[in-house]
Structure 1
Amino acid sequence: MTAWHRELALLQRRRGRSGLDDSERDRLGRLHDTCLDEPHLGEEGQITCLLTRPFSRTLAVPEYYQYTCMHVYGWFLDRYPGDPVHGVLLAAHATVADLAGMERAGWPTTDRPDHIAERIEGLDGLLAALGDVRIDHATGLRVRDVLDRAAADPVLSRRLEVLAECTRFPRSAKHEEHVFLRSVQVCEMLFFLIRRLAVEVTVSHGEFPARCAGLLDLAGDCAQLLNEVFQVLLTLSPEGFMTFRDETGAASAVQSLNYHAMEIAVYGYDPRKAPVFASVEHLTAFNDAGVREHRSLSTATAGTADAALAAGWHRLDRTLSRWRGGHYRFARTYLPSGTKGSGDTEGAAYVRKFVRKDLCLAGIDPFGGLPLLSGFLYC
């Protein structure tokens, strides 16, 4: 990133993106749309596009994707088209490491509040857990091995630096918002990877049961990481959450393509979500017949005689169920009684409605809805 790129980033961070005035937003939008019109600008132009896409006057970017910068993660994952496992876990690690660095820099050791000390300890634990995830059961390859290789690769190291710099944009100037934003971003990465693994196991578990048991184990590890992210997020107090919550606007996780797609791939289409999908333009494709008929992982593994597959499925299901329960408790605790959710939902009551998965359709087609259910999704 050039000095000019860092200046563009600082402009958006100084007061938070909600603090930008109309002229600044217009300037950033024009910069982005100029880059779109002049692809010959090369890497520098590409980074300018990454920094300014949420302000585009040409693209209709939903507010959730303006906030979460998923386009930057999409750019990073473009280098991993066939097998995104390494890319997803590298991106997740870079995101957590960036947050840990910010927390340490913001609070000197001698004057660190208890909740910040707890947060940093949790982030260190999350980084260790990420590094220990076994990617390949046959070779024993773990994420920490991939991190070592990345550190020795100057091109990949630079891409990871760009990823961190181009995704660190809270709406407010409140320090506490960083842990919320980074938690959402890491969860998006994990939603995508769990979905990809679920689709692959659904399609090929009959032919390659041993390999698929390994993939289910990896999916279970990713689900466990979701729960560990939640533990870090809980170092944010309800009062701290409310200091920036209004500035996130309509950037609701209800709009998350990767979350809904993961749930469909794992559990099947939930008819109760039909009106939600119909009300949000970029979610309407989830009401298509192919998606409704998608054969889910839960259906594919139901009653399997393979002990390893059965154990892998039950672990994944239990761990995701615990995450959904944590999400409900977070909404109930952090949103004052009667407060609507950011997507104009009924808040905690909306989240509670979907904790159980016993109303999802079984589906008959393991290829239903693809490629919608296989690629990394953002608007």
Structure 2
Amino acid sequence: MSRIELGHTADYHVHLRQGEMMELVAPTVREGGVSIAYIMPNLTPPLTDIDRVVQYQKDLQKLAPKTTFLMTFYLSKLLTPEIVAKAADENVIRGIKCYPAGVTTNSQAGVDPNDFSAFYPIFEVMQEKGLVLNLHGEKPSSHDSGEDIHVLNAELKFLPALAKLHKDFPELKIVLEHCTSKAAVDAIHELNKDLKPNEEPKVVASLTAHHLFLTIDDWAGNPVNFCKPVAKLPEDRRALLNAAVSGKPYFFFGSDSAPHDLSKKSTHVGVCAGVYTQRYAIGYVAEIFDKAGKLDKLKDFVSTFGNTFYCMDESKLVCKDKCVLVKKEVEIPDVIAFDDSKLKIAPFKPVEKLSWSTEWI
């Protein structure tokens, strides 16, 4: 196969930042072969009101008129059930992102993952309105509380909270974002063990491109590959890959592409967490599926399953173009620079070659 039609591809976890960085990276969503982008709300300040979300979407749409942007709120004490209901009724948001406080970029205004009860009235509204709860599934590091939590077990420690949320809100759509561990994959399988054929799952997981490639050895000492949650052990990577190519509707693509200026990655103090994959997003995933001999499963992973879960169809798109995967070699640059800007971004897998590219029809 030298050409594979992938339909209306979707990336259900995208960081496009704000200001100059937003202006530079928003157009790269389509360059990477993605039609639908689900936008994260961890701006400064975080997105917690309707007017700012509406304006942010307008800004993005102006920069990338052929990309469909789906918007989110940032779960915090600033939100109320009334605001959430109004945003849902006006189709302003498709979901709400939950960040445990302090676990990743711009998460300081996040929540305490040990107790979600204060947000149960909001979850009730979300369940009623069909909104999606997107969970950054980690507990913050803790070394002095009697429970040692660190970057390698932070996701594992979060999984009981996921199970409890599903138990308390069985009809609420929940995404465990950017899974990195075998334990997380097993938890998603367990929560869906009674799923009947053609029944839509309520609890799903998004998987990134970079976590399908990386293990702990690839980011230890390499700031380009450092992200949160961190890549883990070889058995974890194998579990992620098996999940991605499984054909199960509760695993689909969310890149967590997170651009940082090169200066914030090439520093000895405070290296920023985030891997930038957007410009070659579908190509990265195709590479890993091809090596696994599972290109026939790629369309479901990057189009069908996510779009079904988020209730997206062609009628809701700003552009009806379809993505085609093309057998065409692409060399990833060492650094991505932009005309008339001092900003530079280190891409994932710099100076390596991908066997696949994308076109639009």
TM-score higher than 0.5 here? no
TM-score (norm 1): 0.29
Q: Which has the higher helix share?
A: 1
TM-score (norm 2): 0.30
Q: Which has the higher strand share?
A: 2
Larger radius of gyration: 1
